[in-house]
Amino acid sequence: MICAGIDIGSRTIALVLTENKKIIDTRITKTGFSPVANAKKIMEGIKADKFIATGYGRTIFENHFESNTVTEIKAAARGAFEINPDTKAILDIGGQDVKALSINESGKVTKFEMNDRCAAGTGKFLEIMADSLGFRLDDFGENALSFQKEITISNMCTVFAESEVTSLLAKGESPSDIAMGVHVSVVKRAVAMLKRVTCAKEIFFLGGVAKNKCIKLILEKNGFKVSTPKDPQIVVAYGASLIAGEI
C-alpha cells in the first residue's frame, strides 16, 4: 500500500510517499501566495492509496481535496519516533512557529508547547535578521560562527529586534557579532520552551532551521545532545504518511 503525507507549512510544502513505511519519493516546494495551487503542482502524477494532510494549511487542503488531516504535533512525533525510536524530546523550528514536544516510549506526545502567535525565534525571524545584516539566509549561520565578540540581542519581537540590529550596526558593531547574538537569542527561547515540556537532554531537531549549524552548536553548548535527520524538512510529512497507513 502506498501512502502519502503532505505538510503544508507557512514557508514550504513537503510531500512524502511511503510503501510499507519506507520512503519512495519526496518533494518540496515553496508555499507561496497560493498554497492550494502549489499543493496541486507538487501532487502531480502522485498515486496513493491513502493520503493525509498536516501543517498550518491542512484545513485549506481538506476543503479542496478529499483528504484526512492530522495535526503537525502528532505527525512530527510519529515521523521522529519512526526514524529514532529512542526519541524523547523534539524541537521543531519552522518558518512561522516553534514547537517543543515530549514523547513517551511508545512515541505518543505527552506534553508540548507551541509559539505560533508571532515570528519570534522562527525561521522568518532569522530571515529578517539576515536581510537586515546583509547576509543570505543560507549562509547566516556560517557568518555568525565567525563572530569575535559576544553581543546580546534583548528584543525577540521581530520589529523591535530589527530596530535593535540597525542601531548596533550604526554603532559600528560587526555584522557577524550581531548575527551570533541573534542566533543565541533564538536558542534561548527554544531552550526555555524545551525545559517547560521535558527534562530530556537529547533532542531530535526538525524544521528548516535544523539545517542551521550555528543553532545546533549553540544548543549543544547549552548541554543538549542534538540529533538532526538527513532532511529535517520532510519529517512531519513522513509522519503524516505513516499515520495514513495506520488508519
SS (H, E, C) 123-169: HHHHHHHHHHHCCCHHHHHHHHCCCCCCCCCCCCCHHHHHHHHHHHH
Backbone angles phi, psi at 191, to 5 degrees: -65, -40
pLDDT tens per residue, range 89-144: 999 999 889 999 999 999 999 999 998 667 788 999 999 999 999 999 999 999 99
- 2-117+188-244 topology per CATH: Nucleotidyltransferase; domain 5 (3.30.420)
pLDDT per 10-residue tile (average), the chain, 247 residues:
93 95 95 87 91 89 83 97 97 93 96 83 92 95 96 86 94 97 95 96 96 97 96 97 94
* pLDDT given for residue 116 in this prediction: 66
Average pLDDT, the chain: 93
Please give the Cα distance from 180 to 176 (Å, whole number).
6
